[in-house]
Amino acid sequence: MGKHRRPGPPNQRSRATAHIDPNDPLAAYVKRRRAPLDQYRRHRPLHGGGGHLHPSEARVLEEWTGFAYEPVGTAPDLAAAQAWVRDLDPGAVDCEE
């Protein structure tokens, strides 16, 4: 068996690791603080189980805080939870003064 090599010309640096900004002392830790799959809001069934099985049951709403998901409220059903995830509130009224 031959040696493993990265593909590409030998005069280019590897793209296997992300570029880290030398001026930002916390740049190496930024990736760790991103939400899994870049999903900053999610909903889960209140009593567990598959989310698609009982669309009329209540949901727990969770937001990413930079370290973990924390519950921030509940939604009465799947449609309301999905609207919250998309940042839509069908019952909200714009109050501009």
* Secondary structure (3-state) at 42: strand
Joined together, the tokens standing for residue 65 give 């805080």
Greater confidence (50 vs 95) lies with: 50
pLDDT in tens, 22-73: 788 887 777 777 777 778 899 999 888 887 788 899 999 999 988 899 999 9
CA angle 90-96-97, nearest 5°? 155
d(C-alpha 55, C-alpha 26), whole Å? 42
Q: To which H or E segment does residue 59 belong?
A: strand 59-64
- Non-local CB neighbours of 93 within 8 Å, separated by 6+ positions: none
